[in-house]
Amino acid sequence: MNKKPSKAQQGNELNKRTLKKVVAQIVLAQGNTFIKELLRSNNIQIGNTKADFAQNLNAAIDAGALTQGAIEAWLGEIEGWGNQHVYLFEPSAIPRTGIRSALEASKHAELLVRKVSYEFPVALSLSTINLTGDHLSITWHRGRGGWERAKAKDFQRDEGPDSFEYRAYRERFDRSVVRFEWRLSDPYSAIMIQLPNEGDEHEKALNQVWQDLKEAGLLPRPLNKIRLSPAFKKIGRNTAAIVQSTRLLAQGGHVDLVSTQTEGGIEAVEAVREVRRGVDDANFLAADGMFSFAEEKYKQLSRTIKMEGHGLDSRLRIWVQCKRDDVYFVLSVIWANNSA
């Protein structure tokens, strides 16, 4: 029996005009590689520039070759993945079978039917809740204006005896996504934050995540952060990852090992590599590092991923836009090295 779509679901249906707006604001803001993939997978002519992409995407929407469903499935893989900070936490103690009922009973129940949100409010706001199979994915959105230096618009003006220099900035709009991701079979859950780690930005975002998860009936209190230094130490020594730098921290000091090569990490620099070999990891309490997971070595990746690890605050920073599977693959490497 066909179920009639709910009001919320109907509200999710976008007309072609609105869909084109989504393309202009969100789809075209993604990396060219990913846009090409969207075009290719839907048998749409590709092109070379963003202008080509826009034209071809709009034509495909008009022709009915590109649907809202296809765009949303693609955005689910791309939007809010990569270029983010990731914290790992112990999973919630809530029974797996109780998650859906807890969500349905909470004040956020209506978000369960919303697949994608195109709204980016000024304040970080709970946006979608997806529970499919063994995967719970909750997102928060925030949109914020920023200022981008536009030197070409600078000018000088003399007023009487004084000379004035005017420096121009162009307003820009940044979209940020914060995620709580939990694959129920994983021994960890993750909070992924696309906000700069400046001031108390992350602390505020984390507090909001905990508050909303509590209101959603998923946890009574914040989860415990998982220490990641063991993984950063181990990846910094014995993996296929390229280690561009590593910092080992002890009480009273630290050791920095850095490769300044454009290709190749400290393993490629004999003198630095031999210093690394002389270090006993057990003498150091925490480790940071800048690592590169090359797609040639890690075949599961769709692209090379540059990742920065911060052992002291158990945080990792992914420096490139990538896909959901890429992020999960990097996390699996971290996890394997953290528990080995």
Partner 1 sequence: MTEDQLRERFGDKAVDALVAQLRSGEAPEIDPLLFGAKLAGAGIVVEVKSLLDAASEAGLVARVSIWQCPEPSCRRLIDSDAVANRHCPYCGTDYRETGDDPVEAVVYRGSTAISRSVPWLIAVHGFNTRGPWQEDFSWRIANRFKYHAPVVIYKYGLVRLGVLFRWRHRMLARRLVQQIRKAITHARENQIEEPPDIVIHSFGSQLFRLVLDFADCSDLRFGRVIAVGSVIRPDFDWSSYIRDGRIEAVLDQCGGSDWAVPFAQFTIPGTGPGGRHGFTDPAVINVRNGEYGHSTAFTEVELARNLAHGGLWDRFLREPLATFSDPTRFVPNAWSPAHGLIRWLLRAFVVVLLSAATLVLAWLIILHVSGSHWACLC
Write out the residues near partner 1 by the rule CB under 8 A: 31, 83, 146-151, 172, 237-238, 260-264, 267-271, 273-275, 277-278, 280-281, 290, 306, 308, 319-320
Residue 270: in which H helix or E strand, if any?
helix 270-277
Question: What minimum distance in Å lies between the beta carbon of 173 and partner 1?
Answer: 12
Nearer to partner 1, 77 or 281 (CB): 281
Q: How many CB atoms lie within 10 A of CB 276?
A: 18
**For residue 288, what are its two tokens?**
């940071």
User: Does residue 97 contact residue 136 with C-beta atoms inside 8 Å?
Assistant: no
Q: Rounded to the nearest 5 degrees, what angle is found at the Cα of 159, between the Cα atoms of 154 and 163? A: 55
Question: What minimum distance in Å lies between the beta carbon of 167 and partner 1?
Answer: 8
Residue 114: HSE in the Cβ half-sphere, 13 Å Cα cutoff = 20
Nearer to partner 1, 63 or 271 (CB): 271
Question: What minimum distance in Å lies between the beta carbon of 227 and partner 1?
Answer: 19
Write down the residue that tokens 């034209």 correspond to. Answer: 55
SS3 284: coil
Question: What minimum distance in Å lies between the beta carbon of 293 and partner 1?
Answer: 13
Nearer to partner 1, 95 or 278 (CB): 278
Question: What minimum distance in Å lies between the beta carbon of 150 and partner 1?
Answer: 7
SS3 101: helix
**For residue 158, what are its two tokens?**
């003399």
Give buried/exposed letters for 123-144 (b at 16+ CB in 10 A, else e): ebbbbbbbbeeeebbbbbbbbe
Nearer to partner 1, 162 or 166 (CB): 166
Q: What is d(CA 18, CA 269) in angstroms, rounded to the nearest whole number?
A: 53
Nearer to partner 1, 77 or 308 (CB): 308
Nearer to partner 1, 154 or 203 (CB): 154
Q: What is d(CA 279, CA 146) in angstroms, rounded to the nearest whole number?
A: 44
Nearer to partner 1, 103 or 177 (CB): 177
Nearer to partner 1, 96 or 149 (CB): 149
Question: What minimum distance in Å lies between the beta carbon of 17 and partner 1?
Answer: 30
Label each residue of 79-90 as H, E or C: CCCEEEEEEEEC
Residue 19: in which H helix or E strand, if any?
helix 16-22
Question: What minimum distance in Å lies between the beta carbon of 338 and partner 1?
Answer: 16
CA distance readout (Å), 127 to 68, 148, 153, 177: 18, 27, 37, 9
Q: What is d(CA 17, CA 20) in angstroms, rounded to the nearest whole number?
A: 5
Q: What is d(CA 94, CA 90) in angstroms, rounded to the nearest whole number?
A: 12
Question: What minimum distance in Å lies between the beta carbon of 180 and partner 1?
Answer: 25
